[in-house]
Amino acid sequence: MTPASVHRQWRAMAISLLLLGVAACADFSGADMITSGPETEGPTEGDTIFGKGGISLFGDSDDSNDGGGTLGVNSFLWRATLDTIAFMPVSTADPFGGVILTDWHSSQEAPNERFKLNVYILGRTLRADGVRVAVFSQVQDPTGTWRDSAVPEQTGTQIEDAILTRARQLRRETLEQK
């Protein structure tokens, strides 16, 4: 590469960054647009990037009795899941995708065994098939290495039932307050 071609590349990159900076500062609100109809009206008061009324993480919206709120999933199931697995450290929680992943947790009664949960909330309605739980278990061998171990199939179902029971309680409490 010649020094002139390197100089041209740097100059092109500098101009691109300058144009990007100018574009970032530009006013694209449409205030100076000439319009003839309502298609270019701006946002009204109360509108946000999340839609009219903003974002509601816990279903406190007045127009939803199913607990959907503006989450991607049912807010009662979401809250019930967090309540049910509160004893475990949560590593990832995505309220829009309905995924809660825990980190490994060992109890004091069995320090050589640990568990991890993947919880999937499958929709915006409070239904018995609206939540799935995958349970993973490991045991520590005498050398200190963690090895995967089998988990009884009913363990995930029992956790799902506990989440559903708590979600029904939350929904009942919410309906009684209205």
Check whether 29 has a pLDDT greater than 80.
no
Q: Does residue 114 register a pLDDT over 70? A: yes
Tell me whether residue 161 is in a domain.
Answer: yes
Residue 105 lies in a domain: yes
- Cα 86 from Cα 21, distance rounded (Å): 45
Q: 11 lies in a domain?
A: no
In a domain, 173, yes or no: yes
In a domain? residue 22: no
Cα–Cα nearest to 118, from 145, 144, 97: 97
pTM check: above 0.75: no
Identify the pLDDT of residue 153.
87
* 131 contacts 164 by C-beta, under 8 angstroms: yes
**CATH number of 102's domain:** 3.30.530
Instruction: Tell me: pLDDT of 32 over 50.
Output: no
User: Is 152 within a domain?
Assistant: yes
Domain that holds residue 147: 57-177
- What pLDDT, in 10s, does the model give residues 119-140? 999 989 999 999 999 999 999 9
Residue of 118, 117, 116, 121 lying closest to 78 (CA atoms): 121
Taking all residues of the chain, what is their mean pLDDT, rounded to a whole number? 75
What secondary structure, in 3-state letters, does the chain show? Answer: CCHHHHHHHHHHHHHHHHHHHHHHHCCCCCCCCCCCCHHHCCCCCCEECCEECCCCCCCCCCCCCCCCCCCCCCHHHHHHHHHHCCCCCEEEEECCCCEEEECCECCCCCCCEEEEEEEEECCCCCCCCCEEEEEEEEEECCCCCEEEECCCHHHHHHHHHHHHHHHHHHHHHHHHHC
In 61-79, which positions are buried (b, 16+ CB within 10 angstroms) versus exposed (e)?
A: beeeeebbbbbbbbbbbbb
Domain count, the chain: 1
Reply yes or no on whether the pLDDT at 155 is more than 70.
Answer: yes
